[in-house]
């Protein structure tokens, strides 16, 4: 793990974007400066192009090149001082011999008297000043080359304009950097404000404030809103799981305390004085019953804990649900042979369910065991069909009040009527049924009427054809 101290998000954002922004500003600065210089140069070129076109159109050809006299007498062709923006014009024959030159060419003794056959801008300092030249061919009416015209002028000194332009660009860059810095800090502050609110809210959550939720953050983006909702949903699930765990622990302690207290009491009574062998035998029978109930409860708790770690990968076997239900029904039938309860079975063969065989067996046994315990007379009907697989167990027993039905399947829940009538149980049987049904994506439905009976229905998904 790196030992470097992490930076704040704002600092990292600025460090990340600063080189890109500065590089972009520099590129814009260079392109703008280049555009300004190029614009001035092309403006100078346009002036020379217009002069070339005007003089070329006036040149006459009478067996030889004859220059237009009017153009030779124009002021900018007779003066050579840079402030008068003079233009230097020369006419050459096809072989490059100088035929005519404007008067100002003779004023500059170092001005070139030869033909420069280079089309475009270039600078020549031989005349003592930066010069720009353009050369074009002269053609007669038959498009035959008869000579060349060459025009030059001083390169305009625009250093003061360039300086002003650079100062203006620098000012714009500084203003842009200040605006960018302000906007970036504002953006970073807005982005981190939501994170800071969420972080502060998360630090307030504890076991004693587990019902606290991240408050609604005004004027946030969609992603932050979704993050807040996701974290609040997570906190709600954690609170629910903790509350269920606390209730589960309290119920488990209470349910275990009752048989343990009975066991200790029975032993203490037996040890107060000498007892007959028959009395000790009765005490041992009572201990055996209580220990059996404790064993069943602990086993159910362990199975519930194992179910929490069961994944879908372990529930992929194709099980013969018909055989599982039939075996469980036959076991219940053996227990009912001495009671006033009949058992009817309508089990379709070869009903397939995808899942875990042992879990499906335990679920079916719990449903049938509940029907047997709470039915004193009448009958129990087991019906199993396919497409989709549906298991229905109906009894004519004690029944459940309507307000208690939504609680069926919760851990340690037992209806008051069952407890009042002294029917043994821990309230974990239907909790296991509910958990196993959820793991197998089965729908559990309980309908009941007091003193008329209960119907438990399990509807599974149709397994895919292999």
What's the confidence (pLDDT) of residue 13? 64
Q: Which residues contact 388 (CB under 8 A, 6 or more apart)?
A: 459, 460, 461, 462
pLDDT at 4: 52
The residue among 463, 462, 454, 460 whose CA lies nearest residue 437 is: 460
pLDDT in tens, the chain (466 residues): 444 555 555 666 667 777 777 777 778 878 887 787 777 777 777 887 887 777 777 776 555 666 666 566 777 777 777 666 788 888 888 888 888 888 888 777 667 778 877 655 545 444 456 777 788 888 877 778 888 888 888 776 667 777 787 788 778 878 887 887 787 777 777 767 777 777 887 787 776 777 777 787 777 677 777 888 888 888 888 888 777 777 767 766 766 776 777 778 878 877 888 878 888 788 788 787 777 777 777 777 777 767 766 766 667 788 899 999 999 999 888 888 767 888 999 999 999 998 888 889 988 988 998 888 888 888 899 999 988 999 999 999 888 888 888 888 777 667 766 654 556 666 777 888 888 888 888 899 999 888 888 999 999 987 766 5
What are the structural domains of the chain?
Answer: 9-160 (3.30.450.20), 222-303 (1.10.287), 317-459 (3.30.565.10)
Q: How far apart are CA 121 and CA 105, in angstroms?
A: 19
Task: Output the pLDDT for position 78.
Answer: 75
For 371, half-sphere exposure in the C-beta direction (CA atoms, 13 angstrom radius) is 32
* Rounded Cα–Cα distance for residues 216 and 227 (Å): 11
Q: Which of 457, 293, 444, 309 lies closest to 385 in space, CA to CA?
A: 457
Burial class (CB in 10 A: 0-12, 13-18, 19+), 456: buried
Q: What is the pLDDT of residue 323?
A: 93
**If we measure between CA atoms, which residue out of 122, 151, 153 comes closest to residue 134?**
151
pTM assigned to the model: 0.49
Indicate the SS3 state at residue 449.
strand
What pLDDT sits at residue 70?
57
Q: Residue 444: name the closest of 368, 392, 401 by CA.
A: 392
Element (H, E) at 66: strand 65-66
Q: How far apart are CA 14 and CA 20, in angstroms?
A: 10
pLDDT of residue 394: 93
């Amino acid at each position: 793990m790196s030992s470097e101290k992490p930076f704040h998000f704002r600092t990292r954002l600025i460090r990340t974007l600063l080189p890109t922004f500065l590089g972009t500003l520099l590129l814009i600065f260079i392109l703008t400066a280049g555009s300004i210089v190029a614009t001035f140069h092309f403006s100078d070129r346009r002036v020379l192009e217009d002069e070339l076109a005007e003089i070329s159109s006036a040149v006459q050809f009478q067996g030889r090149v004859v220059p237009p006299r009017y153009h030779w007498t124009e002021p900018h062709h007779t003066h050579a001082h840079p402030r008068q923006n003079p233009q230097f014009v020369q006419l050459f024959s096809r072989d490059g011999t100088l035929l005519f030159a404007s008067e100002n060419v003779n004023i500059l003794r170092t001005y070139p008297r030869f033909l420069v056959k280079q089309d475009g801008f270039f600078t020549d300092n031989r005349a003592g000043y930066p010069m720009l030249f353009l050369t074009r061919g002269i053609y007669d009416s038959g498009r035959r080359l008869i000579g060349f015209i060459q025009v030059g002028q001083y390169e305009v000194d625009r250093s003061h304009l360039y300086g002003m332009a650079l100062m203006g660009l620098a000012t714009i860059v500084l203003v842009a950097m200040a605006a960018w810095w302000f906007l970036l800090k504002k953006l970073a502050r807005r982005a981190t404000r939501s994170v800071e609110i969420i972080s502060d809210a998360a630090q307030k959550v504890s076991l004693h404030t587990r019902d606290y939720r991240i408050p609604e953050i005004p004027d946030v983006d969609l992603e932050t809103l979704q993050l807040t909702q996701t974290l609040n949903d997570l906190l709600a699930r954690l609170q629910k799981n903790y509350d269920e765990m606390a209730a589960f622990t309290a119920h488990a302690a209470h349910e275990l305390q009752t048989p343990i207290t009975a066991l200790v009491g029975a032993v203490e009574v037996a040890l107060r004085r000498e007892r007959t062998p028959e009395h000790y035998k009765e005490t041992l029978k009572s201990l055996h019953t209580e220990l059996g109930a404790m064993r069943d409860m602990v086993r159910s708790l362990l199975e519930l804990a194992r179910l929490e770690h069961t994944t879908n990968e372990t529930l992929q076997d194709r099980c013969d649900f018909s055989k599982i239900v039939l075996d469980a029904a036959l076991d219940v039938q053996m227990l009912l042979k001495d009671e006033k309860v009949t058992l009817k079975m309508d089990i379709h063969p070869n009903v397939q369910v995808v899942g875990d065989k042992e879990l499906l067996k335990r679920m079916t046994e719990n449903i049938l065991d509940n029907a047997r315990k709470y039915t004193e007379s009448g009958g129990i009907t087991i019906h199993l069909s396919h497409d989709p697989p549906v298991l229905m167990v109906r009894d004519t027993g004690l029944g459940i009040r309507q307000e208690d039905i939504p609680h069926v399947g919760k851990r340690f829940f037992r209806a008051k009527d069952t407890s009042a009538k002294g029917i043994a149980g821990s309230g974990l049987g239907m909790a296991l049924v509910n958990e196993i049904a959820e793991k197998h994506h089965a729908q559990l439905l309980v309908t009941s009427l007091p003193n008329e009976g209960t119907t438990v229905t399990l509807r599974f998904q149709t397994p895919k054809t292999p």
